[in-house]
Amino acid sequence: MAEDTFIEIRDLHFSRGERKIFDGLSMTIPRGQITGIMGPSGTGKTTLLRIIGGQVRPDAGEVIVAGHDVCRMSREELFEFRKNIGMLFQSSALFTDLSVYENVAFPLRVHTELPEDSIRDLVLLKLNAVGLRGARDLFPAELSGGMARRVALARAIALDPALLMYDEPFTGQDPISMGVLVKLIKSLNQALETTNIVVSHDIHETSSIADKLYIISDGKVIGAGAPEALRADGSPWVQQFMHGSPDGPVPFHYPADELLYDVLAEVGP
């Protein structure tokens, strides 16, 4: 294994009920870079992040993060391991009973023995990094979606984690906060030298910051490489995804009977 590999996923299998989510998925995430994982909605991108974080156990396969197999950790080891992970949830998932300041202070208070004035300094620095130092006394209910996501980002980086995972960071953002988030992710990656995984289906934003892209569909990796290389990829599937064509190998229609047949069918009792 090359020494700049941070996460290695080998032959991952996972199904939910009858549905196969991952069917022999393998990928490597390089250390200190931004890796984008893209694919249509419902391909299990979020599930993949949860498997890396040890919240979901796969049916088979290995997930090796910094030399440790996540799937074989005990409950205690997992909680210890997660102190090195920051995750930005799609819903931001701020604690609604705590102020912005207390939300960012939460991981510091729980995991460190720092005195109050050091916690204050750290919280203000992290909030400053996302441009929300002035919003420290607000409560999550008073924040806009974009602000909430930035606060969640400040909270995710509070402990300077080695791995930062972003779950659909651009979904539901207006163009300005989208631009702010793109810039933040890039600059945080450079400043903190963390390994970043960005799960998204926003091709434009993700390829503008990612060093490496994976496209997954039907539980497998169907395209991998630098964004420019993928754009030139010959596979019709990758082409359809990268250019956002409505029809192609992924059909526009959900499987159904012929339209004419369906329309003319008798309406049954």
Partner 1 sequence: MIDLIRGVGIGALDRLGSLGNATILWLTALSGLPRRGDLALLARQIYTIGVLSLVIIVLSAFSIGAVIALQFYVQLSRFGAEEAVGLGLAMVLLRELGPVVTALLFAGRAGSAITAEIGLMKSTEQLSSMEMMGVDPLHRIVAPRLWAGLLCMPLLTAIFNVVAIYGGMVVAVHWLGSDPGGFWSGMQDTVEVWEDLGKGMIKSVIFAVVVTWIAVYQGYATEPTAEGIGLSTTRTVVMSSVMVLALDFLLTLGMYGDFN
Per CB under 8 A, residues contacting partner 1 are 50, 53, 55, 79-83, 85, 87, 89-91, 93-96, 106-107, 109-111, 152, 155
**Shortest Å distance, C-beta 216 to partner 1:** 21
Q: Which parts of the chain are beta strand (E)? A: 5-16, 19-30, 34-38, 60-65, 68-69, 85-88, 163-167, 195-200, 212-217, 220-225
CB 68 → partner 1: shortest distance, Å?
Answer: 14
**Through-space distance between the first and last CA atoms of the chain, rounded to whole angstroms:** 63
User: 3-state DSSP call for residue 249?
Assistant: coil
Listed residue (81, 29, 36, 32) closest to 55, CA to CA:
81
- Residue whose CB is less far from partner 1, 118 or 245: 118
Q: Which is nearer to partner 1, 164 or 230 (CB)?
A: 164
Integer Cα distance of 38 and 41 in angstroms? 9
Minimum CB distance to partner 1 smaller for 13 or for 109: 109
β-bridge partners, 131: none
Minimum CB distance to partner 1, residue 58 (Å): 17
- Tell me how far, at minimum, the Cβ of 43 lies from partner 1, in Å: 19
Q: How far is the CB of 64 from partner 1 (least distance, A)?
A: 19
Nearer to partner 1, 41 or 96 (CB): 96
Cα distances (Å, whole numbers) of residue 152 to 42, 100, 132, 158, 204: 24, 9, 11, 10, 23
151 or 230: CB nearest partner 1 = 151
Nearer to partner 1, 4 or 69 (CB): 69
- Contact yes or no for 50/73 (Cβ under 8 A): no
* Distance from C-alpha of 7 to C-alpha of 66, rounded to nearest angstrom: 6
